[in-house]
Chain A
Amino acid sequence: MQTVFYLIQKEALQVLRDRVMMLQIFLIPLVQLLVITSAATFEVREAKVHLIDADHTPASRRVADAFRASEHFAIAERSAGVDAGSQSLQTRRADLVLHVPAQFGHDLQAGPPPNVRLLVNGEKASAGIMQSYAQQILQDVASDYAAELRVQDASYTGGPRAQMEVRSRLRYNAALEYDDYMASGILTLLVTIIGTLLTAQNIVREQEIGTIEQLNVTPMTKGQFIVGKLLPFWVLGLIEFGLGLIVAWLAYDLPIRGSLLLLFVVAGVYLTVALGIGLLISTVVNTQQQAMLVTFFVLVLYLLMSGLFTPVASMPTWAEWVAELSPLKHFIEIMRTVLMKGAGPLDIWQPTVILAGYGGLILSVAVRQYSKTKT
């Protein structure tokens, strides 16, 4: 047991002495957490509308006014021709072209129903959202018109108008605080990147510079070796996680509705998995460069497949299974339910058990994989 303690001491000293690295692993994540968190939103605010009003009647102005009144749109340009609108989309001066045809006001009353055209720039991920907002506005205008026409129409004999009063409420995050949601996820991601990187290059580095020989001739068992390599980084990860939580709480008012103790217990389990994967990489590869490339691959999997930025539910079925394999996905889920919904141990036991299972599996594979006689 004494030997493990020495190994832990050696690893801790090695990390603490590398000033540049200490600066990197504490400064970069905190700066990113502070600056980048607010970037992760699909919100459509004041999208630029190019208006082609070929009618110029009160009716067509009403359509334009409905867009002006919406917080989602701002009328940036007007023109008389379709070509100008098309040109604006091409050069990014407009996100959406709204075309009200000539005779619009007249046809509303007397003619065949006119066509209002919308042309959305389909280049960005927010295109679908923008389109649905615009359609919603137009449909509201149409429905108002229909009601007015019905009043004018003396021959209308239908029953009383059916009405629905819809009140909408957003649960758990009523103010739509994007930062609340993203800060916790990005924080976990940063801790994961650091933990995985440090452990992935750890053993292979000793191999590359030859010091692994000295460790191999010690009386330490393989299990003790892996534990000794893991523990310093595990503590480092928890410290980093705690610091990040404080920063997120100070900067973004991150709600803490559940038990912090519970959160840290689960974080401990999670870090065992994340660091275990790093150590496993380190025992498999031959050079630090290879370790870096494999780590990169795993990290991108975490980054894109954990449901942090794009919903897991939208993925094809096979990808949903891949996402299930990501420990980060389970941990982010637990963290969100504990922090934002105030969930207790009973609500999160399932993903926690999955994480613990992964942890056990990965550590035992890492111990098996590590060979003291490897050349």
Chain B
Amino acid sequence: MNAFFGLVRKETYHILRDRRTLGVLLLMPLIQVLLFGFAIRTDVEDIGIALVTPTPDEATHRLRAKLEASNRFHVNRVLRSTEPLESLFQRGTIDQALVLESGFAAALHAPSGAQTLLLTDAINPNIGRIQQDYAQAVLGEYERALNDGSRAPPFHVRSRARYNPTLESAYFFVPGLLAFILILVSALMTSISVAREKETGTMETMLVSPLRQWQIIGGKVVPYLVVAFINALTVLGVAYAVFDVPIRGRLSLLLGESLLFVGTALALGVLISVLTDSQRTAMIAALLGLMIPTTLLSGMIFPIASMPAWLQPVSHVVPAKWFIRIIRGILLKGVGLGDLWIETLILIGMGLFFLVASTLNFSVRLD
């Protein structure tokens, strides 16, 4: 056991002596949460729309006012013909175009109704679809106002979003961002640890020491656990203090789960390190292997329920998915371990699997 503590001490010195790297490790997560927490919004705003009306009249003016009153749209072109539309779409000046027939006001009361055409740039299908829905909603409201302007609607709709009443982007994005940053930074820290010793040749010394495989693996994880946990504390602090993300559940549970998650991520890093033989391949495996899957399959940006049915089970192997469920549950919903035990067990299982797999794959001979 003495040898184990000796190794932990050696690793700790390694971390503490490289001040520059340690500084980067501690500051980077903080900067990333601040930067992306403010920058990333998932809501669709600022939709540029062109109104094509061959014969502007009172009714088209009111329609334009209605569009602009919605805060989402700004009518940045009012055209007489559809001819310029193609190039406006190509250059990205407008996202949508609403084409009205000539004599719009009179046509509204004709038996067939006024013919309108709504064009939407759907290159980005996610956003195109939302934009189309928003525009249709405004047009529907406009039509209703024409008919029932003075009458009360037959019933009211009272709508509320639970856990996030103002649908603040930061509330759902920041918890996901925390998971993303913590897993990447933690896995990066350990991923080159073993590979570097192989590359610089110090592995030899380690292998002839009385240390057992699991002790070497453990000795690599333990000192970084402290650094990773400090990172978890800073990013949670930023989420709470800067982005006003509420902490509705128990703080002790939140911290415990965070420690578990960074531990799992560090173990994953060690596994990568054991399986690769140079810092270069370790780096590629960690960054290339983790970045996009964690972004897209964890529910951090895109809801897992929206994915095709065959892909949803694939998301189970992404550790961040489980932590995002845990952290959103604790922060936004205030749920306890009673509702989160499955996710917690899965994370523990993953962590143990990474550690055991690292120990088994750790070869005591160099070639």
Interface set of A (CB-CB < 8 Å, partner B): 18, 20-21, 24-25, 28-29, 32, 35-36, 38-45, 47, 86, 89-91, 95, 104, 107-108, 113-129, 131-136, 138-140, 142-143, 145-146, 149, 158-174, 176-178, 180-181, 186, 189-190, 193-194, 197-198, 201, 205, 208-209, 286-290, 292-297, 299-300, 303-305, 309-311, 313-316, 319, 322, 333, 336-337, 340-341, 343, 347
User: Is the CB of B136 closer than 8 A to any CB of chain A?
Assistant: yes
Q: Is the CB of B280 within 8 A of A171?
A: no
Q: Which of chain B's residues have a CB closer than 8 A to the CB of A149? A: 154
- Given known A-B contacts A28-B288, A163-B143, A347 and B32 have beta carbons under 8 A apart: no
Q: Does B301 contact A (CB under 8 A)?
A: yes
Q: Find chain A residues with CB under 8 A from B280 CB.
A: 18, 21, 198, 201, 205, 288
Residue of A nearest to B299 (CB): A124
Which of A43, A125, A305, A309 makes the CB contact (< 8 A) with B129?
A: A43
Known: A20-B276, A309-B302, A311-B124. A123 touches B332 (CB 8 A): yes
A142 to B326, CA, bound (A): 39
The reply to whether B303 and A160 contact each other, CB–CB distance below 8 Å, is no
The A-B contact count (CB < 8 A) is 377
A-contact 0/1 string along B295-322, CB 8 Å cutoff:
1110101110111100100110000000
Q: How many angstroms between the C-alpha atoms of A290 and B23 in the bound complex?
A: 11
In the complex, which of the residues A164, A190, A309 contacts B116, with contact meaning CB atoms closer than 8 Å?
A: A164
Task: Please give, as numbers and ranges, the residues of chain B lying within 8 Å of A20 by CB-CB distance.
Answer: 276-277, 281
Cβ of B363 under 8 Å from chain A:
no
Residues of A within 8 A of B306 (CB): 41-45, 126
Interface of B is mostly: helix
Contact status B303-A347, CB under 8 Å: no
A113 touches B285 (CB 8 A): no
**11 A-B pairs with C-beta separation under 8 A:** A40-B296, A89-B162, A122-B165, A123-B172, A127-B167, A128-B43, A164-B114, A193-B292, A197-B283, A292-B188, A305-B39
Interchain CB contact under 8 A, A176 and B154: no
CB distance A114 to B155 under 8 Å?
yes
**With A117-B160, A295-B287 already in contact, 15 other A-B pairs whose C-beta atoms are closer than 8 Å:** A43-B126, A90-B339, A124-B299, A126-B306, A132-B130, A132-B134, A135-B137, A163-B109, A166-B117, A167-B118, A171-B122, A181-B123, A198-B284, A289-B21, A293-B28
Interface size of B in residues (CB-CB distance below 8 Å): 119
Q: Which of B108, B128, B279 contacts A201 (CB 8 A)?
A: B279
Shortest Cβ gap from A179 to chain B (Å): 9
User: Which of B5-13, B144-152, B208-216, B344-352 is found at the contact surface with chain A?
Assistant: B144-152
B159, A134: Cβ atoms under 8 Å?
yes
Tell me which residues across on chain B come within 8 A of A288, comparing CB atoms: 192, 196, 279-280, 283
Residue of B nearest to A178 (CB): B125
Task: Indicate if the CB atoms of A132 and B137 lie closer than 8 Å.
Answer: yes
Per-residue CB proximity of B159-199 to A under 8 Å, as 1/0? 11111110101011100000000001100100010001001
Decide if A314 touches B293 in the complex (CB within 8 Å): no
B108 to chain A, nearest CB (A): 4
- A29 — which chain B residues lie within 8 A by C-beta? 288
- Shortest B78–chain A CB gap in Å is 18
Q: How far is the CA of A186 from the CA of B171 in the complex (A)?
A: 26
Given contacts A123-B328, A142-B153, A163-B143, contact A41 B126 (CB under 8 A): yes
Residues B133 and A297 in contact, CB atoms below 8 Å apart:
no
Q: Which residues of B contact A (CB under 8 A)?
A: 18, 20-21, 24-25, 28, 32, 36, 38-46, 89-92, 108-109, 111-130, 132-134, 136-137, 139-144, 146-148, 151-165, 167, 169, 171-173, 184-185, 188, 192, 196, 199-200, 276-281, 283-289, 291-293, 295-297, 299, 301-303, 305-308, 311, 314-315, 328, 332-333, 335, 339
Instruction: Give the distance in Å from the alpha carbon of A114 to the alpha carbon of B158 in the complex.
Output: 10
Is the pair A35, B114 in contact by a Cβ cutoff of 8 Å? no
Contact assessment for B292 and A32 in the assembled complex, using a CB-CB cutoff below 8 Å: yes
Given A124-B299, A133-B133, A293-B24, are A341 and B287 also a contact pair (CB < 8 Å)? no
Shortest distance from the beta carbon of A342 to any chain B beta carbon, whole Å: 9
Nearest CB in chain B: distance from A253 CB, A:
14
Q: Name the residue on B nearest A156 (C-beta).
A: B151
Give the complex CA separation of A143 and B141 in angstroms.
10
Chain A residue numbers with a CB within 8 Å of B91 are 347
Question: In the complex, which residues of chain B have a beta carbon less than 8 angstroms from the beta carbon of A115?
Answer: 155-158
The answer to whether A290 and B20 touch (CB under 8 A), given A36-B296, A47-B305, A189-B292, is yes
Residue of A45, A116, A316 touching B158 (CB-CB under 8 A): A116
Quick one: closest B residue to A131, CB to CB? B159
Residues on A with C-beta less than 8 A from B199 are: 208-209
| CB closest residue in chain A, given B159 | A118
Q: How far is the CB of A260 from chain B (nearest CB, A)?
A: 19
Which A residues touch B289, using CB under 8 A? 28
